[in-house]
Amino acid sequence: MLSIDGVLLDFKRLDSLATGDSAIHRLDPRAKVLVTFVFIVTVVSFGKYELTAMVPFFIFPAVIIGLGNLPAGYIARKIALLCPFALVVAIFNPVFDREVLVQLGPLGITGGWISCASIVVRAALTVGAAIILLAVTGFPAICRALERLGMPAAFAVQLLFLYRYIFVLTEEGGRASRARALRSFGNKGLGMKTYGSLLGHLLLRTWLRAERIHMAMLARGFTGEFHTRHEFRFGRREHLFLLCWSTLFITLRLQNASQLLGSLVTGISR
């Protein structure tokens, strides 16, 4: 199991990936946000038994990972960490849906197993798309893009604060956890009873830290807006990026490419 510091470093690696200089990184964040939105909406719109129709959608994360020079193994591990939650949601489908929909020789596959796999694949695709967007754009740029696309500025500022200070809170939590471990000779004081005072102490430290940060921001002229030197420019490349991927997603949604390919292969083999 990862320690608090390990989890923190793991999240910071996504930030470091967003500082890359590939063609995908240089695109306007709004184009990447819109393409990811169309991708997620298209994937979640499939029916619960349309498992094979979602397979061609793995093209999108594979292409973006390749063009963005992202570490495929690291992205796959991040997705795998969240997939068990989807499996917990889908695990009872085979129990309640026992109608056989596919017959593979003597083996009959019920609708419950197909819908269970469909939920896991859907989760892997959507979570993967969100992680890849974060890795090629960065969370602050995503928030600014959402604000430019119409999201209320107050909500964007709240998201930026949450993302910025979740690391500060994690550092404070890690420091308190290490202090507790160093003072627990012979495993004394490591029980659940000490967590109450530990959390109370962490809340007080967070409160005092938040007041100091707020006063420092007011002293520097903070008026509720974050200013950046990065200029947004939605040019020809962004229009082409958005048009091509959106057209592909909608086409794959309307036509089952896996089924067409299977029919073509079996037709040739006859």
**For the whole model, what pTM was predicted?**
0.80
Q: How far apart are CA 144 and CA 219, in angstroms?
A: 24
Go through 152-173 and write b for each residue having 16 or more CB atoms within 10 A of its CB, e for each that does not: eeeebbebbeebeeeeebeebb
Backbone phi, then psi, for 224, in 5-degree steps? 100, 0
Mind listing the pLDDT tens digit for each residue in 180-219?
Answer: 777 776 666 666 677 777 788 888 888 888 888 888 888 8
Q: How far is CA 150 from the centre of its chain?
A: 21
| pLDDT for position 4 | 54
Mind listing the pLDDT tens digit for each residue in 114-161?
Answer: 989 999 999 999 999 999 999 999 888 888 888 888 888 888 888 888
The answer for residues whose C-beta is within 8 angstroms of residue 82's C-beta and 6 or more apart is: 123, 127
- Residue 148: count of CB within 10 angstroms of its CB: 15
Taking alpha carbons only, the member of 17, 230, 39 closest to residue 128 is 39
